[in-house]
Amino acid sequence: MHDTSPRTADGKVLWHFSMSLDGFVAGPGHGMDWMPAATNRPGLVEEYLETTGAVLGGRDGWDAFPAAGAVYGGAWSGPVFVLTHHPEDAEPADGVTFLNCDVAEAVQIARRAAGGKNVEVLSPSIGRQLLDAGLLDEIDLHILPVLLGDGIRLYDAPGGAPVPLEFVNGDPVEEINLRYRPVGRSGG
């Protein structure tokens, strides 16, 4: 499952996340201690460093990790946009623009800043809004061998209709078989 084709820097709007097997991208309280320090897919970070032109995030993620320089461990630099309904109380930071607008306008601003490269949406809630608006091009996920049971879901839309997806980095398939067993857990 590591031989995924490289993302191209061709102006896509992407969701890019590490995700638990049960669909969470952060644990309770924005906990990220379940994620490994490094990816095991060779060249992945380099690929994203090269193809990412701008980052769009939300205020909760920013408040939990307020460091624009920390995108890809500080290896990526570029324009970061943070959506919030109250930009006036955000601490200014170099390279970060706080926006209070609808997601369509935010993504347009980020696209322009990305200069033809991809816009990476590092927010589940904004990605969901973009998906609803038909403005999300791709979802790139790294599924980790862990169940969290609680936290922030990739896609949280209670009562929503199913969103069909097409598999784009391999032969079209209806389902992918992943087989795991629990390890290192004692008691309940």
Ligand X SMILES: NC(=O)c1ccc[n+]([C@@H]2O[C@H](COP(=O)([O-])OP(=O)(O)OC[C@H]3O[C@@H](n4cnc5c(N)ncnc54)[C@H](OP(=O)(O)O)[C@@H]3O)[C@@H](O)[C@H]2O)c1
Enumerate binding residues for ligand X (CB under 6 A).
17-18, 25-26, 30, 32, 57-61, 64, 83-86, 100, 102-103, 122-126, 129, 152
State the nearest-atom distance from the C-beta of 168 to ligand X, in Å.
19
**Nearer to ligand X among residue 9 and residue 99 (C-beta):** 99
Reading the block at residue 76, the tokens are: 């990526």
**Nearer to ligand X among residue 122 and residue 135 (C-beta):** 122
Q: Is 134:9 a contact under the CB 8 Å cutoff? A: no
**Nearer to ligand X among residue 1 and residue 116 (C-beta):** 1
Q: Is 142:14 a contact under the CB 8 Å cutoff? A: no
Region of residue 65 (left: phi > 0; alpha: psi -120 to 50; beta: else): beta
**Nearer to ligand X among residue 30 and residue 50 (C-beta):** 30
Q: Which residue is nearest to ligand X (CB)?
A: 58
Burial 130-159 (b: 16+ CB within 10 A, else e): bbeeebbbebbebebebebeebbbbeeeee
- Of 67, 62, 117, 130, nearest to 95 by C-alpha is 67
State the nearest-atom distance from the C-beta of 180 to ligand X, in Å.
19
CA distance linking residue 188 with residue 182, whole number of Å: 12
State the nearest-atom distance from the C-beta of 172 to ligand X, in Å.
25
* Chain length of the chain: 188
- Of 115, 120, 92, nearest to 7 by C-alpha is 120
CA distance linking residue 128 with residue 15, whole number of Å: 10
State the nearest-atom distance from the C-beta of 128 to ligand X, in Å.
8
State the nearest-atom distance from the C-beta of 2 to ligand X, in Å.
17
State the nearest-atom distance from the C-beta of 134 to ligand X, in Å.
15
**Nearer to ligand X among residue 83 and residue 96 (C-beta):** 83
**Nearer to ligand X among residue 109 and residue 126 (C-beta):** 126
